[in-house]
Structure 1
Amino acid sequence: MIVRIMGEGQVRLDDSHLAELNKLDDELLAEIENGDGPGFRRTLSALLDKVRELGTSLPDDSLEPSELILPSPDATLEEVRELLSDDGLIPGAV
């Protein structure tokens, strides 16, 4: 799957990593719902770091369709809240 991190670029990520990412996504969703700013910042950073770690960056001139779009590392709690679906940032993940 192709994941876009807003403001950074795209990463190719194997679907087998979705369960691991979904755990962080669930934590992030709970922190947003509870208004936990420090927890939100920490978990968003961990989620993006994990995507970068597990994925392979695509060249900047690559324009693959993104199957998942994640917020930039400096996104605010309110900005991320607007991006959420009922499933979090990673809809349909197991």
Structure 2
Amino acid sequence: MIVRIMGEGQVELADGHFIELNKLDDELLAEMENGDEEGFRRTLGALLEEVRRLGQPLPDDALEPSELILPAPDATLDEVREMLSDDGLIPG
């Protein structure tokens, strides 16, 4: 799956990694619901770092359609809320 981190670029992630990423996504949702800004920042950073670590970066000139778009590391709670689906940021 092609994943875009806003403001950074795209990575290709194997579907098998989404089980791990969904745990962080669930944690992020809980922190957002509780208004835990510090926890939200920490978990968003951890989620994006895992995507970077597990994913294979695509060249900057690649124009692949992104199947999943994640917020920038400095996104606000409100910006991330606008990006949420029923499953959170990551489907599944």
Q: TM-score, with normalisation over the residues of structure 2?
A: 0.98
Count of residues paired in the alignment: 92
Instruction: Note the alpha carbon deviations across 1:42-78, whole angstroms, 9 max, x for none.
Output: 0000000000000010000001011110000000111
Aligned-residue identity in percent: 79
- 1:40 aligned partner: 40
- Is the partner of 1:75 in helix, strand or coil? coil
- The CA distance in 2 between the partners of 1:67 and 1:83, in whole Å, is 13
**Cross-structure match for 1:29:** 29
SS of equivalent to 2:73: coil
Q: Does 1:54 align with 2:85?
A: no
Instruction: Quote the residue 1:3 is aligned against.
Output: 3
Counterparts of 2:70 and 2:79, CA distance in 1: 11
Unaligned runs of 5+ in 2: none
Q: Secondary structure at the match of 1:52?
A: helix
Q: Which runs of 5+ in 1 are unaligned?
A: none
Superposition CA RMSD, Å: 0.5
Residue 78 of structure 1 aligns with which residue? 78
